[in-house]
Amino acid sequence: MCADAKELTRSNAELQAFAHTIAHDLQEPLRTISAFTEILIQKAQLDEAGKETADFIVSGVRRMSILLDDLLSSATYGHGRSRGRVKLEFAAGQAMQNLRAILSSSHASVRIQPLPAVEGNECDLIRLFQNLLGNAVKYRGQAPVEIDISAERYGPDWVIRVRDNGIGIAKEQHPRVFDLFTRLHTETIPGSGIGLAACKKIVENMGGVIWVESEVGGGSTFCFTLAGGHPSVAVPRS
- The CB-side HSE value for 122 (13 A sphere, CA atoms) comes to 9
Per CB under 6 A, does 224 bind ligand ADP? Answer: no
Per CB under 6 A, does 136 bind ligand ADP? Answer: yes
Per CB under 6 A, does 63 bind ligand ADP? Answer: no
Q: Which helix (H) or strand (E) holds 40?
A: helix 3-43
User: Which is closer to ligand ADP, CB of 219 or CB of 229?
Assistant: 219
User: Which is closer to ligand ADP, CB of 193 or CB of 231?
Assistant: 193
Applying CB under 6 A, which of residues 77, 129, 139, 224 lies at the interface with ligand ADP?
139
User: Which is closer to ligand ADP, CB of 117 or CB of 133?
Assistant: 133
How far apart, in whole angstroms, are the C-alpha atoms of residue 225 and residue 197? 16
User: Which is closer to ligand ADP, CB of 14 or CB of 215?
Assistant: 215
Specify whether the CB–CB gap between 67 and 19 falls below 8 A: no
Helix axes 122-138, 195-205, angle to 10 degrees: 150
Least distance to ligand ADP from the beta carbon of 76, Å?
17
- Stretch 162-221 residues interacting with ligand ADP (CB under 6 A): 164, 166-169, 177, 182-185, 191-197, 220
Per CB under 6 A, does 130 bind ligand ADP? Answer: no
End-to-end CA gap in the chain: 37
Q: What one-letter code names the amino acid at 8?
A: L
Contact range with ligand ADP by CB under 6 A, out of 15-23, 93-101, 131-139, 224-232? 131-139
Per CB under 6 A, does 103 bind ligand ADP? Answer: no
Per CB under 6 A, does 74 bind ligand ADP? Answer: no
Spatial neighbors of 89 by CB under 8 A, at least 6 apart, are: 112, 114, 115, 232, 233
Least distance to ligand ADP from the beta carbon of 64, Å?
14
Bridge pairing between strands 109-112 and 146-154: parallel
Per CB under 6 A, does 67 bind ligand ADP? Answer: no
Number of residues written out for the chain: 238
